[in-house]
Amino acid sequence: MKIELFNTMGRKKQEFKSIMPGEVRLYACGPTVYDYAHIGHFRAYVFVDTLVKILEYNKFKVKHVMNITDVGHLTDDADQGEDKVEKKARKEGKSAWEIADYYTEDFFDAMEKLNVKTPDIVCKATDHIQDMINLVKDIEKNGYTYETSDGIYFDTSQLNDYGKLAGLDIEGLREGARVNVNPEKKHPTDFALWKFSPNNKKRQMEWDSPWGKGFPGWHIECTAMSMRYLGETLDIHTGGIDHIPVHHTNEIAQAESATGKRYVNYWLHNNFITVNGEKMSKSKGNFHTMKDIENRGIDPMAVRYLFLTANYRTQLNFTWKSVKAAEKTLDTLREHVKILQEEKKGGTNLEKVRKYKNQFLAYINDDLNTPEAISLMWKLIREEKGINSEEKYKLILEFDKIFGLNLDKIEIGKILSIEIKKLIKERQTARKNKNYERADEIRDELKKMGYEIQDTKKGIKVRRINS
């Protein structure tokens, strides 16, 4: 069955065809490690993790590369301001390297809690400075650069199709630009490839180069590292939609001016997480981190479930109410799965099983349609005829190869609330003391709360009765 992906380059769904049969070369923009990543960032990585799982489910061998930006990302996309890592280091009285290492470790700790698989290659910008210098030299040799007092810049006027990813009106931008932040820039869209270290300030992170001591621009790192590990043309490149007009546009300019080849065949971008209608961001102060999730006693996997309920290309409004509702639904799902695992009864219509599998594949191959795939799983759980508990359990675990909810590792004791556990224990004590009246009262209380108790020879079974 074919896979269709929405390609930002062209703004339409296209059938996915890899460069090398059976192999996919995928690059994902990683974090800038100067602070804690927030929930909005993690949507991007759950999206990429889901994409990789779908490609692998379709028998592709995926080589997944992600960068760590530990130098060169300035506070202003116009190549002004300070390096974010250096600024944070000065604020906290630590070295830039210590800051980068600390927040990188925290990032991957949160990724593990979300059950996001670590990419095959994680590459730090500071480990690939020579690759970036070599790329800038290639761009310079082909006539696309010029020098100012603060760095080496890319001349966007030399590239006929600059801005094609974002559909930018370059002439309109140039005509409408009244003030250039950097008066030495020839055009508003020109950007830094290499920045010179300031004469009056010692940087912690700086390197020698053919143009003088300095550090790389933000955009050059992704182009240099992606091509080092994946070749001059990539199958897929991912990132947030905020990367489209500047970062990814500039990546394309750098790569294609250096090689003369198409840089990426399929561009995939996830939409924002919003809070009260505004993009979740550090600059707005409306962001929540993984620590915030855990401090409220919420299972991080509820965040993953919440992300799966919306298409990656749509905005998703985050509220504490929505994530708690996702947690409750996830707990219900776990209870159903646990019961199915223990029950082995009824006949199975193999044709019906096949239809579920085919429908699931059709949904996930339709531009990662996880909301419909989630709905299909709930339909399967409610299915009363034709599929026995054992086959339902197997199918759900098959679906979870994409969802990544660890449904094969659940224990009923871990998904019941403290209040429910307390009542169950009290009922067991009442039965042991032959206080059957109290035991029945507790059974009724639990039923009102949405739980049914079954007494079996192997012990009690608990299941939710209102899903």
109 Cβ contact partners less than 8 Å away, ≥ 6 residues apart: 290
pTM: 0.86
pLDDT tens across the length of the chain (467 residues): 899 999 999 999 999 999 999 999 999 999 999 999 999 999 999 999 999 999 999 999 999 999 999 998 987 766 777 889 988 998 989 999 999 999 999 999 999 999 999 999 999 999 999 999 999 999 999 999 999 999 999 999 999 999 999 887 666 555 444 445 678 999 999 999 999 998 877 889 999 999 999 999 999 999 999 999 999 999 999 999 999 999 999 999 999 999 999 999 999 999 999 987 778 877 777 789 999 999 888 899 999 999 999 999 999 999 999 999 999 999 889 988 988 887 766 667 788 999 999 999 999 999 999 999 999 999 999 987 778 888 999 999 999 999 999 999 876 555 566 567 778 888 988 888 889 889 889 888 888 877 788 777 666 777 766 54
Residue carrying structure tokens 């007009």: 245
Q: Pairing relation of β-strands 61-68 and 23-28?
A: parallel
What pLDDT shows up at residue 269?
A: 98
Q: Which two tokens stand for residue 442?
A: 């507790």
Q: Is 64 helix (H, G, I), strand (E, B) or coil?
A: strand
Q: What is the pLDDT of residue 169?
A: 67
Domain residue extents for the chain? 4-270, 320-412, 416-464
Domain 4-270 and domain 320-412 have a common topology: no
Class of domain 4-270 (CATH, top level): alpha beta
Is-contact 145 220, C-beta < 8 A? no
What is the pLDDT at residue 401? 98
Tokens of 234: 């990539």
CATH fold group of domain 320-412: Four Helix Bundle (Hemerythrin (Met), subunit A) (1.20.120)
Altogether, the residues listed in the chain come to a count of 467
Amino acid at 95: S
Question: What's the pLDDT score for residue 69?
Answer: 95
Nearest to 72 by CA among 253, 204, 199, 254: 204
Q: Are 43 and 31 in contact (CB under 8 A)?
A: no
Name every residue whose Cβ is closer than 8 Å to that of residue 352 and which is 6 or more positions away in sequence.
Answer: 383, 386, 387
Give the pLDDT score at 179. Answer: 44
